[in-house]
Chains A and B, each alone.
Chain A
């Protein structure tokens, strides 16, 4: 398991993504370290982990657009590429991961799969039982259209993954 986390970390940090490996009981501190400016979030489904008060749940459109940080759960993830899957339902993880400048992605280590094919198999099973939105995201949004590579085109300009090693 920790081999897979290491592999994920190596792949993800080859690009501009940052990764923090922690235990669930360290989550509040780890998140506090990266919270800066207004933050919005989708509920975290990991045992013993929850969003602090200063992260706005169920944001209004204005709050969403003004947020600097969006915190969402992600999973599965792909060790080979450092990708994470944003699954979205009514709580709006899709928009929350997409509109703010920084996406803070919270991932359970047990959700890391080796390859894209493995992740797709898992997504496929969830789509069959009603999941309608799953985005395999690797690093921040980017564009080369304006003369050189720029991070943060329409989506976040940085991505920070918090891996819960004991989840």
Chain B
């Protein structure tokens, strides 16, 4: 085969795997999407409700975090301690280095117990090691007793959610499954009938089982106590009914003491499903004194005296100790597997864990788990589905920076990827220092700033060329940019050019002095919002300058190009040092760039430099809010009566979509407050993300998912009482997405406040 043929093959491979991915996502959107969306939305709303209702949510989150940090830090010591405690209690501890060792141990225990059948409580860790299969190979039947796991076992399907594994299954599907499997006398229809039927079946399995196997949510090293967080009661039965109990748990489940459990207990039900608390928080310190129940001798009194019980604790490493040594993956070990990061994820809500998941784990944190326990290939399957929107960061009960874990793994996947034969096509446009195996699409999006500079310089020709049908086809095949997406139109004249060319404006006795950050979108694509910002700030008595500074690194970071992003971060920090030293506040229009300054730069910059920038940066409407609060003249800026942007003459009603990262920074309320203060009536969306998420919605394999996520937002803004409202969005990509979904154009909020006729 010649080189040329080879390279065509390589490209075709890339675009056909894109097509396969797109097909898989399309199928899940159609088959499981609605069911998953309905279920996880309830969990998601419940978490918001409960987190808001509890006064101590943040205290519990901080305490949980602290305890996990300490536990993982002291892990080797805790393993020794728990081994001694459990053995003193009369149990046996086994340390399994990997899945096969764990299964060997489990098979030995089960064989020693002479077991024919095993009943099991829900345990993702036993899914991770594929224990059921290993026991089956040795001739032992394992019955799942958690009702969701039972359904999956009957259907021979894999979990679609880390905490609620059968979340993709509807009542009707479960009814059909039971009908086919058991052919029951009376038809099973209601949830009550299905539950009662399944519980009855499982009561028999529990009664006849020789061994009960469960996981554990926490294990206290000081007392050897297993804490289980459950609702059904099946794990309790599996533990106290047979006379042999085996707990299988990752080593990360260890905490120092019983006293450490309460912050988790207070939060875990809320985090997972918005429950005030789960039905059962069980604390077993096995072997338990409570006698086993011998259903083989149903008429012999069994209580009154403790029976001889056996207890085994299998502690699983399977990559965890290595994760502990890995600065970036270590945080994954703090995860308590509540599922909140999945529930709060707009992409997950549409497709569930069968797309957004690896071999065992699913949702945002799965990238960390899969990379750690199954390896990079498993993580690579779904890592792209994290768009970095950061909504899960507010949801996670242990404050894990889930987007960062996704970014780091993406970076490592980039490093390991094979260089594409077509890389030279984008080389000129992608002056990054990343290894060349990244993939053209990633490099193209990651170097958006360079693309925008060239595009703007050559506009409008570049716009015409880019939108020609040939160019779109090439872009789709080579770089995976979906043809159905409208490309951003580059402005001929940049925002800074406008600013520097205009007549000097002197603000007498300015109240504040601002360095307005010219983000890439404002600079090259939408200078108008920059101009509005300047006019609004000046009208409020602020002296504005626009520093000469480049992109924040958001674009490369979103593609996992950490080195490139770090370089951008350093350049930005350096360029803004002087304005900050000269007492200027940094005002940022684009929320995703502000989020870089306030969140991600902590990872990319030295502490002092990060703190200086983060501490002096403001989102533009947050800043306007502050000015108004400190006495700036509200009448100096426009309101509904005076705003003259084309769609807003006299219209007072606004539908506002805040940006995902802006919401994570708790900055949405400022925009709403300012718009209300000048006289607008504001309703807001409550979707987690618009679905565009920077470059995500441009990628051909994810286009349909992006639109499915966006459709939820469209639905909220096209109800009868909303479809006339002015559409306002803070983020560029949210604006683009809204423009493509709605037949009315969106505005940045600052444009409604612009006092000057355009």
* B289 x A135 contact (CB < 8 A): no
* Chain A residues within an 8 Å CB radius of B305: 90
Q: Does B281 contact A (CB under 8 A)?
A: yes
Contacts of B654 in A (CB 8 A): none
Task: Decide if A133 touches B280 in the complex (CB within 8 Å).
Answer: no
Per the bound structure, the CA–CA distance linking A142 and B655 in Å amounts to 39
Please give, as numbers and ranges, the residues of chain B lying within 8 Å of A136 by CB-CB distance.
Answer: 265, 277, 280-283
Binary CB contact string for chain B from 362 to 380 against chain A (1 if under 8 A, 0 otherwise)? 0000000000000000000
Given A132-B289, A150-B191, decide whether A121 and B259 contact each other with a Cβ distance below 8 A: yes
Give A25 to B256 CA distance when docked, in angstroms.
Answer: 44
Q: How far is the CA of A107 from the CA of B349 in the complex (A)?
A: 43
| Contact of A7 with B by CB under 8 A | no
A59–B301 CA distance with the chains assembled, in angstroms = 6
In the complex, A107→B316 CA distance in Å?
Answer: 40
> Which residue, A93, A131, A135, A137, has most C-beta atoms of chain B within 10 A?
A135
B47 at the A/B interface (Cβ < 8 Å)? Answer: no
B499 beta carbon closer than 8 Å to chain A: no
Give the contacts of B536-582 with A (CB-CB under 8 A).
none
- Complex contact B166–A141 (CB within 8 A): no
Instruction: Contact check, B261 vs A120: say whether CB atoms are below 8 A apart.
Output: yes
Contact between A137 and B262 (Cβ–Cβ < 8 Å)?
A: no
A148 within 8 A of B: yes
Q: Are B171 and A146 in contact (CB under 8 A)?
A: yes
**Residue numbers in A under 8 Å from B293 (CB-CB):** 61, 64, 95
Residues of B within 8 A of A89 (CB): 289-290, 306
The chain B residues found within 8 Å of chain A, CB to CB, are 39, 145-148, 151, 164, 166, 170-171, 174, 191-192, 194-196, 198-199, 202-203, 207, 223, 225, 231-234, 236-237, 240-241, 257-259, 261-262, 265-266, 273, 276-291, 293-295, 297-306
Give complex CA distance A98, B237 in Å.
8
Report the minimum CB–CB distance from B219 to chain A (whole Å). Answer: 13
B171, B285, B290: the one within 8 Å of A147 (CB): B171
A138-153 residues at the B interface, CB under 8 angstroms? 138-150, 152-153
Nearest-neighbour CB distance to chain B for A86, whole angstroms, equals 9
Q: Which residues on the B side are within 8 Å of A117 (C-beta)?
A: 262, 266
Q: Which residues of A contact B39 (CB under 8 A)?
A: 144
Give every chain A residue within 8 A of B289 (Cβ-Cβ): 88-90, 130, 132-133
A104 within 8 A of B: no
B279 and A145 contacting across the interface, CB-CB below 8 Å = no
Contact check: which of B199, B265, B281 meets A153 at CB < 8 Å? B199
| Chain A proximity of B275: nearest CB distance (Å) | 9
Contacts A147-B170, A153-B234; A132 near B303 (Cβ below 8 A): no
* CB-defined contacts of A102 to chain B, threshold 8 Å: none
Cβ of A32 under 8 Å from chain B: no
Considering residues B280, B288, B299, which has the most beta carbons from chain A within 10 angstroms of its beta carbon? B280
Candidate in B148, B166, B276 with the most chain A CB atoms within 10 angstroms: B276
B241 CB contacts on chain A under 8 angstroms: 95
Interface CB pairs A-B, < 8 A, 30: A61-B299, A61-B300, A62-B299, A64-B293, A90-B306, A92-B290, A98-B233, A98-B236, A116-B262, A116-B265, A120-B259, A120-B261, A123-B283, A124-B257, A133-B290, A135-B236, A135-B281, A138-B278, A142-B232, A143-B195, A143-B231, A144-B39, A144-B164, A145-B166, A148-B191, A150-B191, A154-B145, A154-B232, A154-B236, A155-B279
Contact assessment for A154 and B233 in the assembled complex, using a CB-CB cutoff below 8 Å: yes
Residue-wise, chain A 48-67 has the 8 Å CB interface mask toward B (1 for contact) of 00000000001111101100
Q: With A136-B283, A146-B174 given, is the CB distance from A61 to B290 under 8 Å?
A: no
Of chain A, the residue at the smallest CB distance from B297 is A61
Residues of B within 8 A of A62 (CB): 298-299
B288 partner, pick from A132, A142, A145, A153, beta carbons under 8 A: A132
Name which residue of chain A comes closest to B283, CB basis: A134
Min CB–CB distance A125 → chain B (angstroms)? 9
Complex: A9 Cα to B457 Cα, angstroms:
71
A141-B302 in contact (CB<8A): no
In the complex, given contacts A154-B233, A156-B233, what are 20 additional A-B residue pairs having Cβ atoms less than 8 angstroms apart? A61-B300, A62-B299, A64-B293, A92-B290, A92-B291, A98-B233, A116-B262, A116-B281, A124-B223, A124-B257, A124-B258, A127-B258, A131-B285, A134-B283, A146-B191, A150-B192, A152-B195, A153-B233, A154-B232, A155-B236
State which size class the interface on A falls in.
Answer: 35 or more
CA distance A123 to B262 in the complex (A): 12
A residues 2-47 with Cβ under 8 Å of B? 14, 42
Q: Is A165 an interface residue (CB 8 A)?
A: no
Which residues from chain B contact A124 at a C-beta distance below 8 Å? 223, 257-259
On whether the beta carbons of B279 and A132 are closer than 8 Å, the reply is no
Task: Among B166, B240, B241, find the residue whose CB has the most chain A CB atoms closer than 10 A.
Answer: B240
- Which of B203, B273, B279 is most buried by chain A, counting CB atoms within 10 A of its CB? B279
Would A138 and B195 be within 8 Å (CB), given that A95-B240, A127-B285, A145-B166 are in contact? no
Instruction: Judge whether B278 and A146 touch: CB under 8 Å.
Output: no
Look across to chain B and name the residue whose beta carbon is closest to the beta carbon of A14: B276
Bound Cα distance from A146 to B177, whole angstroms: 12
With A90-B290, A92-B290, A132-B286 in contact, is A153–B231 under 8 Å at CB?
yes
Question: Which residues of A lie under 8 Å from residue B199 when comparing CB positions?
Answer: 152-154
- Asked if A132 meets B290 with Cβ closer than 8 Å, knowing A58-B304, A60-B299, A65-B203, the reply is yes
- A residues in contact with B146, CB < 8 Å: 145
A138-B278, A141-B233 as given contacts; A150 in contact with B195, CB under 8 Å: yes
**Chain B minimum-CB-distance residue to A124:** B258
Question: Quick one: closest A residue to B240, CB to CB?
Answer: A94
Q: Is A91 an interface residue (CB 8 A)?
A: yes
Within 8 Å CB of B234, what residues of A? 153-154
Give the complex CA separation of A12 and B337 in angstroms: 27
State whether B284 touches A132 (Cβ < 8 A).
yes
Partner of B265, one of A42, A88, A120: A120
CA distance A98 to B295 in the complex (A): 16
A108 at the interface (CB under 8 A from B): no
Residues of A with C-beta under 8 A to B287:
132
Chain A residue, CB-CB nearest to B304? A58
Alpha-carbon separation in the docked complex, A140 to B195 (Å)? 14
Q: Which residue of B lies closest to A93 (CB)?
A: B290
Please give me the residue from chain A that is nearest to B43 by CB atom.
A144
Chain B residue nearest in CB terms to A138: B277
Q: Which B residues are in CB contact (< 8 Å) with A149? A: 191
Nearest CB in chain A: distance from B51 CB, A = 16
Q: How far, in whole Å, are A120 and B418 apart by their CA atoms in the complex?
A: 54
Instruction: Report yes or no: A147 in contact with B232, Cβ–Cβ below 8 A.
Output: no
CA of A61 to CA of B241, assembled, Å: 10
Q: Would you call A148 and B277 a contact (CB within 8 A)?
A: no
Q: Which residues of A contact B148 (CB under 8 A)?
A: 143, 145
Cβ contacts under 8 Å, A109 to chain B: none
Interface centre among A61, A117, A130, A155, by most chain B C-beta atoms within 10 angstroms, is A61
Residues of A within 8 A of B297 (CB): 61
Please tell me which one of the listed residues A90, A130, A134, A141 contacts residue B291 in the complex, with CB atoms under 8 A apart: A90
Which chain B positions have C-beta within 8 A of A59?
Answer: 301-303
Docked Cα-Cα span, A135 to B281, in Å, equals 6
Which residues of chain A are within 8 angstroms of B278 by Cβ–Cβ distance?
138
Residue A158 is within 8 A (CB to CB) of chain B in the complex:
no
In the complex, A147→B734 CA distance in Å? Answer: 34
Distance between B363 CB and nearest chain A CB, rounded to angstroms: 18
Residues of A within 8 A of B198 (CB): 146
